[in-house]
Structure 1
């Protein structure tokens, strides 16, 4: 198996991390493809500069030392620790912003075995634990030793055939169920069959050439893991590990209830969106929060270390997760274990791949197109009113790798037009695109350099030009910043915008009523050209009114349903500008303010278009705009 730091084809070229994989595989008798596949699924071969993952794993092999990682961590407030939004986002039944407070300091005395594999690797190799945490080569050696030990413990010889290592790979996941262990192993062998190549965060080119391998799945029998039948309430594809852990639907004192609404989707309303969140908490804290009837809810949580899924709310019901009731009523929310400001507490490949499988499944079930008009980040969800816009959440943030995610979804961001296309799809190269951010470790603190899916937007075609202003997120005279939670001058991979101008290495887009410039050089493009539908103001109009929710007009409401206000956001959008259209939809309001869902109603009215207004989406009334091809 060749792993090279240069062009594939000459083993003598292997250096650095690539050589470490080859040496460790030979020393411990593990097929190199197996070692590379396991490492790719846990870290994509990155070392993360010795920082632990959210589940306490270190280095390219994700050797776990949760006691050390937790002892050094700061308590966090969980899913809603950043932002002040009302997660339900319904002004007819507003909720106070959840504030569970910081979690207790972690107890490091009783860490389960699957979260302390680094100590076992130290014992097997004689290497110092500190070296295993911070040295990539040592870490790879430790991972190889663990795989070899698992193979021995299962009673299997150290075969040179990758097909014979399925059981050892399943054991490496440290999963508590056979389903979860086998999902991890299946994904490792999928990587081996597909192949992979990338430059890691240490600057090493590592390559796993594709190799057709049919693993012997019987080798996992000796693990003795429980193989309980899947709960029939789970709505996941069969190819992932998925459990049912329900969010409570309970009536509370004073006539309130939590933490979601019962519905009959898609019979009652179409599901148009899937919203991607990060948890801002560990797995254990996340599960504790979603089981609190006085908290909020989402449909699925995904675990970082192995991609295991817990489903909490049925797809037919409405979770309280996006901060905008219109979006909540028409979406499914996915929470991914991780932290926006700490990209090296990383989103693992296992979690990306599981999430992509789940999203593909949901997209088929609900007929949701696989594009960034329908697959939203929480940070792309608009505030329903002016007052709510500044407090909307900003996860999963600029470090979520949207391009890789859509590659896994089978819907990569590709050019659909020539160099004069009327739209652009943002698509920087994540690994080499490293704009500076700050506030990761407190106000004003610089974030460590890291790949990013977002481009920065300026008022003129120059790096030193001011950033464009977002008067919604920065009311008054506030300026946009390079803060990691500031979405005011940011466009993310997959988002589409109408082109306003091109000038050399710079492209301008229409954005929040302004001409916003981003660097887009021919030798390192950060966008691809596209065609599609746009809206512009009608002849004679001065501005285009934009809305934070697509609610019906007053005349659409029956007498027993209070009319919900339809008030434009305060953004000034000149009528001669163009904005990319995501979908055309009837306006809808889901009236759900009582525990008993018998009286819940859906009100429908005039048509709206969803547009890409800025970093966040918005809606315009079809009667206010002209629809045209870009």
Structure 2
């Protein structure tokens, strides 16, 4: 269709004829109706696609992690090329193993090629509608029109006639996210599942949007197959059948001087349990990230997840140990998930398609390996402890304060709910993500405020007053600040802490050996009461050390395996304080310093540890040092 004709299609939408203005909180609903009529797209299809992209949120015009804007997630990722790649910045050793020389990948360009079509949909929408890119980014109604124009174009390109029946639009929906084969079909399946279920919610801008349920809708799923779209190979993958998944193997290769990469072969869970799943974001574009993980001199993780459609690539078998978390103890017992995101500003949002795909994968892995679905076992990279005192300040902070942990755990089927009475001795952090908007700085430039944004993070103070100093983390050696990457004085949704006091609308918790306060008003609580096990120093001890890894005692190491230091972090757990325990684990060390896996050993000691939620990050205390109690 020529540009003039395409632009003409926008006339009904842009108000050539006056119409009664909808209520202020119904403008987005009306925008969907207007765009559907203007471009001949069924309203339910337009609403379903938008929900899977953004849950109908506009995010105040801020871009997603892949440069997507507005309710339709129209992508304009040109600024993404300035991003730094994830594992090469900072001082963290991704492998986190003292037994080998530090591994710090050199900085490299995450993606230097031409941007793929899935990252330039806003540009195409501008051509189709005649609207400016700026308006498509900033005006939710224009953004919806751009999405409708792209869907209508996809229907024409498939040779399909316009239709009022949503079932006839499966192929166009599959094309919308710009994926191929199984990924496009999985994306379309999710959209039509949303349409069948229906739904309604109030968006981040206060707009009430509803999608009527179409429970009997059965779309024609043959269109993607008829177009000959490439199908990614699912052979070798360990994924649930409900996601699109391909095998892109990371290499296990020697590359000189006895060194090798980029992971270690193992025999998990027979040799050692898989206890954790670690959630990362990539800070790199999909194509560049796949190139990095296939470099034997780089690092590795088990899975990558694509933002635009939730497609998954697996790189390392679950039985093997990937190098991703910066703590060898955690690496040896975890599976790493990297979620695509590569804008230089971390105040970006993640798509619903990626959340859903990630949650399905995590549910599958948790069931297969008996991993508890809680925040002490489904870790953010930002909650992995530094293995030693020297490593604490260099640990990574992704996926950051804008990852929606409450929504993620709802998708996991484990929503964070009250499990005890009002005056319980434990709380679960649970602010309202959309309404909780703490001010962070340093997203685009040092000291400058970040864009206003919903957040999973709650700030901690030294007293029940927002003018009092923020809680200090002595392990970081600087701060505390409001910086987006400063974790000194911050708790996150789903984390649990023992209550240390209450004062009006304020609650105090034990945190990093201190009493830390946060606002928790009854009418809009930021935490809910909970029950659980807590640890406190056993009688006669003034304090106990806190560790970043649960390593065995020296006597447990066999001949030929050098004992690893059981070195405490620069923190202690003082008497009278309590911390929530996530589980008891044995002292364990995976010795793997050679390419030949025959020399690898799993050393298990007699000493036992408890994992605890100590600060923003988890930590470990020796079981012999503490008493465990149930707090209700």
TM-score class, shorter-chain normalisation, is: over 0.9
* 1:550 counterpart = 2:512: no
Q: Distance in 1 between matches of 2:611 and 2:197?
A: 37
1:27-426 equivalences under 5 Å are 27-65=38-76, 69-70=77-78, 72-73=79-80, 75-102=82-109, 106=112, 110-177=114-181, 179-221=182-224, 224-226=227-229, 228=231, 230-339=233-342, 342-343=345-346, 345-426=348-429
Please report how far the alpha carbon of residue 199 of structure 1 lies from its aligned counterpart in structure 2 after TM superposition. 3.3
2:574 aligned counterpart, secondary structure: coil
Q: Distance in 2 between matches of 1:225 and 1:531?
A: 54
Q: Distance in 1 between matches of 2:440 and 2:25?
A: 34
Q: Distance in 1 between matches of 2:231 and 2:225?
A: 16
Q: Distance in 1 between matches of 2:74 and 2:480?
A: 39
1:358-507 equivalences under 5 Å are 358-474=361-477, 478-507=478-507
Q: Does the aligned pair in 1 maintain the 2:532–2:630 contact within 8 Å?
A: yes
Q: Distance in 2 between matches of 1:19 and 1:158?
A: 21
Q: Distance in 1 between matches of 2:544 and 2:282?
A: 36
Q: Distance in 2 between matches of 1:492 and 1:349?
A: 20
Q: Does the aligned pair in 1 maintain the 2:347–2:443 contact within 8 Å?
A: no
Please report how far the alpha carbon of residue 73 of structure 1 lies from its aligned counterpart in structure 2 after TM superposition. 4.4
Query: C-alpha offsets along residues 311-343 of structure 1, whole Å, 9 cap, x if unaligned?
Result: 111100001100110000000000011158635
Q: Does the aligned pair in 1 maintain the 2:301–2:322 contact within 8 Å?
A: yes
Please report how far the alpha carbon of residue 599 of structure 1 lies from its aligned counterpart in structure 2 after TM superposition. 1.3
2:164 aligned counterpart, secondary structure: coil
1:332 aligned counterpart, secondary structure: strand
Q: Does the aligned pair in 1 maintain the 2:35–2:148 contact within 8 Å?
A: yes
- Segment of structure 1 superposing worse, 141-150 or 412-421: 141-150
**CA distance 1:171–1:530, change in 2 (3 Å):** same
Q: Does the aligned pair in 2 maintain the 1:280–1:340 contact within 8 Å?
A: yes
Q: Distance in 1 between matches of 2:331 and 2:608?
A: 19
Query: C-alpha offsets along residues 274-316 of structure 1, whole Å, 9 cap, x if unaligned?
Result: 0000111111221121111111111111111111111111100
Q: Does the aligned pair in 1 maintain the 2:83–2:342 contact within 8 Å?
A: no
**CA distance 1:504–1:82, change in 2 (3 Å):** farther
Q: Distance in 1 between matches of 2:92 and 2:71?
A: 37
**CA distance 1:578–1:53, change in 2 (3 Å):** closer
- 1:4 alignment counterpart: none
Please report how far the alpha carbon of residue 213 of structure 1 lies from its aligned counterpart in structure 2 after TM superposition. 4.0
- 2:8 alignment counterpart: none
Q: Distance in 2 between matches of 1:220 and 1:454?
A: 43
1:7-26 equivalences under 5 Å are 15-26=26-37
**CA distance 1:415–1:209, change in 2 (3 Å):** farther
- Segment of structure 1 superposing worse, 142-151 or 448-457: 142-151
**CA distance 1:111–1:283, change in 2 (3 Å):** closer
Please report how far the alpha carbon of residue 528 of structure 1 lies from its aligned counterpart in structure 2 after TM superposition. 0.8
Tell me how large the CA RMSD over aligned residues is: 2.1
Please report how far the alpha carbon of residue 48 of structure 1 lies from its aligned counterpart in structure 2 after TM superposition. 3.6
2:536 aligned counterpart, secondary structure: strand
Q: Does the aligned pair in 2 maintain the 1:33–1:162 contact within 8 Å?
A: yes
Please report how far the alpha carbon of residue 173 of structure 1 lies from its aligned counterpart in structure 2 after TM superposition. 2.0
- 1:594 alignment counterpart: 594
2:427 aligned counterpart, secondary structure: strand
- 1:6 alignment counterpart: none
1:589 aligned counterpart, secondary structure: strand
Q: Distance in 2 between matches of 1:602 and 1:123?
A: 59
Q: Does the aligned pair in 1 maintain the 2:26–2:209 contact within 8 Å?
A: no
- Segment of structure 1 superposing worse, 513-522 or 561-570: 561-570
- 1:3 alignment counterpart: none
Q: Distance in 2 between matches of 1:211 and 1:502?
A: 48
Q: Does the aligned pair in 2 maintain the 1:154–1:223 contact within 8 Å?
A: no
Structure 1: unaligned runs, 5 residues or longer: 1-9
- Segment of structure 1 superposing worse, 160-169 or 533-542: 160-169
Q: Does the aligned pair in 2 maintain the 1:340–1:396 contact within 8 Å?
A: no
Please report how far the alpha carbon of residue 257 of structure 1 lies from its aligned counterpart in structure 2 after TM superposition. 0.7
Please report how far the alpha carbon of residue 248 of structure 1 lies from its aligned counterpart in structure 2 after TM superposition. 1.2
Please report how far the alpha carbon of residue 142 of structure 1 lies from its aligned counterpart in structure 2 after TM superposition. 1.8
Please report how far the alpha carbon of residue 116 of structure 1 lies from its aligned counterpart in structure 2 after TM superposition. 3.5
Query: C-alpha offsets along residues 64-84 of structure 1, whole Å, 9 cap, x if unaligned?
Result: 34xxx31x4452220125431
Q: Does the aligned pair in 1 maintain the 2:479–2:486 contact within 8 Å?
A: no
- 2:530 alignment counterpart: 530
Q: Distance in 2 between matches of 1:344 and 1:455?
A: 16
- 1:570 alignment counterpart: 570
Query: C-alpha offsets along residues 499-529 of structure 1, whole Å, 9 cap, x if unaligned?
Result: 1111111111111111111110011101111
- Segment of structure 1 superposing worse, 25-34 or 451-460: 25-34
Q: Distance in 1 between matches of 2:232 and 2:151?
A: 28
- 2:13 alignment counterpart: none
- 2:16 alignment counterpart: none
Q: Distance in 2 between matches of 1:76 and 1:546?
A: 35
Q: Distance in 2 between matches of 1:497 and 1:61?
A: 38
Q: Distance in 1 between matches of 2:31 and 2:150?
A: 15
Q: Distance in 2 between matches of 1:229 and 1:153?
A: 22
Q: Does the aligned pair in 2 maintain the 1:299–1:332 contact within 8 Å?
A: yes
Q: Distance in 2 between matches of 1:172 and 1:559?
A: 59
Structure 2: unaligned runs, 5 residues or longer: 1-20
Q: Distance in 1 between matches of 2:617 and 2:416?
A: 19
Q: Distance in 2 between matches of 1:244 and 1:163?
A: 31
- Segment of structure 1 superposing worse, 364-373 or 166-175: 166-175
**CA distance 1:99–1:229, change in 2 (3 Å):** closer
Please report how far the alpha carbon of residue 244 of structure 1 lies from its aligned counterpart in structure 2 after TM superposition. 0.9
Q: Does the aligned pair in 1 maintain the 2:373–2:414 contact within 8 Å?
A: yes
Query: Size of the alignment, in residue pairs?
Result: 610
